[in-house]
Amino acid sequence: MDSKLTLKLDKTVIEQAKAYAKEQQTSLSRLIENYLAAITSSKIERNKEEIEITPLVKSLSGSIKVPEDFDYNKAKYEYLMEKYK
């Protein structure tokens, strides 16, 4: 059963949300309903133990060893600099 809800929000946020809903071809009400349903759902990962790790993911775990001081951003930067020379 649907019920009415009144919200007080910043005008800019409302305009942006309406534009987003239109792009998604849905109503603002449906968008908000889906969001609220998602954040209140019992399926949200409230407890990490609820997540089932597949055998494939388990087999990949630990397959790559990187130094503790590995700088991902630096490595990415160096790779991109070399790639786009």
Nearest to 66 by CA among 55, 54, 74, 56: 74
pLDDT tens readout for residues 66-81: 888 989 899 999 999 9
pLDDT tens readout for residues 1-44: 889 989 898 899 899 999 988 998 999 999 999 888 888 876 55
What per-residue confidence (pLDDT) applies to 60?
A: 77
DSSP annotation of 24 reads T
Spell out the domain ranges in the chain. 9-44
**Phi, psi of 80, deg, nearest 5:** -65, -35
DSSP string, 30-73: HHHHHHHHHHH-TTS-SSGGGSPPPHHHHHHTT-S---TT--HH
Query: Which amino acid belongs to residue 6?
Result: T
